[in-house]
Amino acid sequence: MRTTVDLNDRLMADALKWVGESTKTGTINESMKIAVAFKKRMKLLTMAGKVKLDVDLNATRNRK
């Protein structure tokens, strides 16, 4: 999808350096993947201790 955006030059320069992509498009796409993955992990962390699992670890470990 083509989109016109106004980007911060310093932030783009840093992103190009740290993300490891050689193009602005690649950098933006990879940065969005990283941001989405980060937000998903943060959401999972908020669920810590809220999900009850009833798992028999001994049975699971002996399973082949």
Chain mean pLDDT for the chain:
91
Cα distance between residue 16 and residue 44, in whole Å: 29
pTM, whole model, 2 decimals? 0.70
Residue 9 has pLDDT above 60, yes or no: yes
What would the mean pLDDT of 7-22 be, rounded to a whole number?
Answer: 96
Rounded (5°) CA angle 34-35-38: 85
Cα distance between residue 4 and residue 14, in whole Å: 20
Residue 19: domain span: 9-62
Count of structural domains, the chain: 1
4 lies in some domain:
no
Task: Give yes or no for a contact between 30 and 18, defined as CB atoms under 8 angstroms apart.
Answer: no
52 lies in some domain:
yes
Task: Give yes or no for a contact between 46 and 40, defined as CB atoms under 8 angstroms apart.
Answer: no
Cα distance between residue 43 and residue 6, in whole Å: 29
